Structure 1
Amino acid sequence: MASFADAADKTAIALVAGETSGDLLASRLLSGLRPHLPDALMHGIGGPHMMQHGFVSDFSMEKLSVRGLFEVLAHYREIKGIQNALRDRLLEERPAVFIGVDAPDFNLGLEAQLKEAGIPTMHFIGPSIWAWRGGRIKKIARAVSHMLVIFPFEEEIYRKVGIPATYVGHPLAQVIPMEPDVQAARALLGLQPDARVVAIMPGSRMSELKYNAVAFVAAAKLLRQRDPSLQFVAPMAGDVQRRYFDELIAQAGLQDVPIQVTNGESYRAMAAADAVLVASGTASLEVALFKKPMVIAYKMMRASWHVLRHMGYQPWIGLPNILAREFLVPELLQDAATPQALADAMWMQLQDGAHREQLQRRFTEMHHTLLRDTAAESAQAVLNLIGHPSRTA
């Protein structure tokens, strides 16, 4: 467990990332920050990508990777206990800054308490107030000293209500190549170079797998009936997710569907694919940056769906469609996400050559818009907030 008391002469930076995508995004910030603060103590909650930059995780990130209103309630006491324990430690240790990376339900409450105590707070990846009802912005103003935003239109939204904000580009736009190497990805995954390949991506959270995996694999079975030569690859976030996926598929009697399940390898799967069936979330943007046709789908606990379906005030939930301001790719949600509907929508993505070319052009434009030196720009914003001179200044 990290201790600032052991390093009183060091700058202390506290961060919390709540899931796999946040871990990757935070690692980009740390890669830019670490050269300026080589001896800084960086700790909180994070994953393996953050740890590559000397980050120490005091609690398991998996504990925060729960999605859905009622799913979160089932784990509320444990999550709240972690939040309180981390809050108390940071109030005592007083880091130079606390940076919450996504996970707004966990981080904004923690940030509000730290900011009230005089600890500067940043939030990296703004909550989607532009996609859902915007009442949250008052809570953000109370909690956050400075926002780091990843979409260009977000700066004005926050600045209008007096919240300092810096657009740093989307880290994934720098990580993902502008022109993916399809054949190299297929060779590394052991896929046939001339086959048609579909990537199945039901989500990285256990709750996402619970509600999406069976429908996604059942759709793959229907697609294979139309074209027996189709190859399927399903990247899992880790061993735990892979075992759960296998268990769900076996329980549904779908274990005979020939799907190559991998640990990690999500980017190779996207690069190798002709089309992707993907759960809504950051992964859908990753697929767009790989310039691939896709169908976005999402299922959740029915009680959560009945609440959340009334909260959106724009017609899209998928990030590629939100950025495009139109339905570039299909979205099938909850009861609409039947295996047959998913298979039909995916078949069109595979068959429509003109649509594929249009998507490639639009996704390339999107990639250029989001491409900035996120590591350097987000790190500089942190240094400015804490009053630490840049080593290159």
Structure 2
Amino acid sequence: MSSVPLKIGVVAGEASGDVLAAGMIKQIRLQYPDAIIEGIAGPNMLQQGCRTLFDMEELSVMGLVEVLSRIRRLLHIRKSVFNHFKDNPPDVFIGVDAPDFNLPLEKKLKRLGIKTVHYVSPTVWAWRENRIYGIGEATNLVLSIFPFEKAVYDKHGFPCQFVGHTMADDIPLQPDQAKARQDLSSIEFTEDQKVLALLPGSRAGEVNMLLDIFLHSAAKVCDALGSLNVLIPAVNEVRKQQIEAKIQAFKQNEIPSESLVINVLLGQSRDVMIASDAILLASGTASLEAMLCKRPMLVAYRLKWFTHQMMKRLYKAKYFALPNVLADKLVVPELLQEQVNPDTISEYLVGMLSDPNSTVSDEFVPLHKMLKQDADKQAANAVLTLIGASNE
């Protein structure tokens, strides 16, 4: 392999996978600077020199109903990616999360004799554990980000390595709120105004489902506190335009108090989280990042009716917010479906913002340490070891 460039295929389906893949690619390039890396990439992966065959945004679809409405396009993309790698076989293919898209692709590539890795275990610990047999058939190795996942794979005899999470390595155990506010130079912070971060999700469907409710909740919080500084980070320019359109409609229809200040930022979600006094966010990886940022949070999620009915029958875990799943107890409040309404949300948030002596760090620091495992390097070495290319 040393005589020709290493060739790696990688597909990420959303913003969180883009971050994980980019960190791993950076570490691979330290050993193989001339590696050819291509697949479906987000902005972070592109910065690491990954060539993308399709816009990652096309894969960022949530819920059963939404996926079904776009199934023909998704199948076309997957077939095109498969044909590309069939004609240009990589030394290894890595599917990053997005299991409904990546696992069938991995299975077909593995049958061609291509080594396959799945980075981020599907939630077999939460629902449909028998999916693990399909995962084992599709992959040579699973890289897990949570420690309890490996035990499930070990029980069934499938290779799995716990690597931790790259965000746990990047974020200090004690984040500096003053510095984060200083880094957000376009935002004016005052001592007498509380700061609320709103993160309604990275997908278009999530923003459509949650942002209106989040904005109405913020308006109620502002009425209770007298003023409020709201920060909304957008994962990309497309999402920023969607968020700004929603805010414009909200202001026209509701005419909120002038004391409610709303700022939309492109990126900078971590600085926004650390700078905030509390966070209202959609369930998902963002709740993990908020935990690592040591911020009080309220996790909320709504699903289409049919999707929710299906999940009620299938989901077996006690919690859905990742901090609670990791701790195996309720450390942050979580709201689902009808509970996600402005009255309930604002009641929680007013309590959080009125309490200057939050003890969230006492719960969050041990969880942070659990995930702090030098994930990018571990993931890169696991992939290279699998194909006999590690120089470590």
Q: Hey, what's the Cα distance between the residues in 2 that align with 1:9 and 1:33? A: 15
Q: Which secondary structure does the structure 1 equivalent of 2:57 belong to?
A: helix
Q: Aligned runs of 1:253-272 on 2, under 5 Å?
A: 253-254=253-254, 256=256, 257-272=260-275
Q: Which secondary structure does the structure 2 equivalent of 1:260 belong to?
A: strand
Q: Hey, what's the Cα distance between the residues in 2 that align with 1:350 and 1:309? A: 32
Relative distance call for 1:157 and 1:146 in structure 2 (3 A) is: same
Q: Which runs of 5+ in 1 are unaligned?
A: 1-7
Q: Hey, what's the Cα distance between the residues in 1 that align with 2:383 and 2:124? A: 23
Contact preservation (8 Å) 2:197, 2:272: yes
- How far residue 353 of structure 1 moved from its aligned partner, in angstroms, is 4.8
Contact preservation (8 Å) 1:97, 1:386: yes
Q: Aligned runs of 1:253-292 on 2, under 5 Å?
A: 253-254=253-254, 256=256, 257-292=260-295
Q: Hey, what's the Cα distance between the residues in 2 that align with 1:310 and 1:275? A: 32
In the alignment, is residue 41 of structure 1 matched against residue 41 of structure 2?
no
Q: TM-score, normalised by structure 2?
A: 0.94
Contact preservation (8 Å) 2:20, 2:376: no
Question: Which deviates further from its counterpart, 137-146 or 306-315?
Answer: 306-315
Q: Which secondary structure does the structure 1 equivalent of 2:38 belong to?
A: strand
Q: Aligned runs of 1:166-185 on 2, under 5 Å?
A: 166-185=161-180
Q: Aligned runs of 1:193-342 on 2, under 5 Å?
A: 193-194=190-191, 195-252=193-250, 253-254=253-254, 256=256, 257-342=260-345
Relative distance call for 1:287 and 1:385 in structure 2 (3 A) is: same
In the alignment, is residue 77 of structure 1 matched against residue 79 of structure 2?
no
Contact preservation (8 Å) 1:187, 1:193: no
Match of 1:4 in 2: none
- How far residue 375 of structure 1 moved from its aligned partner, in angstroms, is 1.6
Relative distance call for 1:9 and 1:233 in structure 2 (3 A) is: same
Equivalent residues, number: 382
Contact preservation (8 Å) 2:228, 2:261: no
- How far residue 350 of structure 1 moved from its aligned partner, in angstroms, is 2.1
- How far residue 151 of structure 1 moved from its aligned partner, in angstroms, is 1.0
1:68 paired residue among 63, 66, 90: 63
Match of 1:155 in 2: 150
- How far residue 254 of structure 1 moved from its aligned partner, in angstroms, is 4.4
Q: Which secondary structure does the structure 1 equivalent of 2:218 belong to?
A: helix
Residue identity (%) = 38
Contact preservation (8 Å) 1:197, 1:232: yes
Q: TM-score, normalised by structure 1?
A: 0.94
- How far residue 176 of structure 1 moved from its aligned partner, in angstroms, is 1.4
State the one-letter code of the partner of 2:388: G
Q: Hey, what's the Cα distance between the residues in 1 that align with 2:348 and 2:104? A: 40
Q: Which runs of 5+ in 2 are unaligned?
A: none
Q: Hey, what's the Cα distance between the residues in 2 that align with 1:211 and 1:204? A: 12
Contact preservation (8 Å) 1:277, 1:295: yes
Contact preservation (8 Å) 2:225, 2:350: no
Cα displacement string for residues 207-233 of structure 1 (whole angstroms, at most 9, x for unaligned residues): 000100000010000000001232111
- How far residue 188 of structure 1 moved from its aligned partner, in angstroms, is 2.9
* CA RMSD, Structure 1 to Structure 2 (Å): 1.5
Q: Hey, what's the Cα distance between the residues in 2 that align with 1:112 and 1:137? A: 13
Match of 1:3 in 2: none
Q: Hey, what's the Cα distance between the residues in 1 that align with 2:297 and 2:364? A: 12
- How far residue 129 of structure 1 moved from its aligned partner, in angstroms, is 1.2
Cα displacement string for residues 318-360 of structure 1 (whole angstroms, at most 9, x for unaligned residues): 1000001111111111111011111111122223455x21x21
Q: Hey, what's the Cα distance between the residues in 2 that align with 1:272 and 1:214? A: 23
Q: Hey, what's the Cα distance between the residues in 1 that align with 2:245 and 2:352? A: 29
Relative distance call for 1:338 and 1:101 in structure 2 (3 A) is: same
Match of 1:192 in 2: 189
Match of 1:118 in 2: 113
Q: Hey, what's the Cα distance between the residues in 1 that align with 2:86 and 2:371? A: 36
State the one-letter code of the partner of 1:234: I
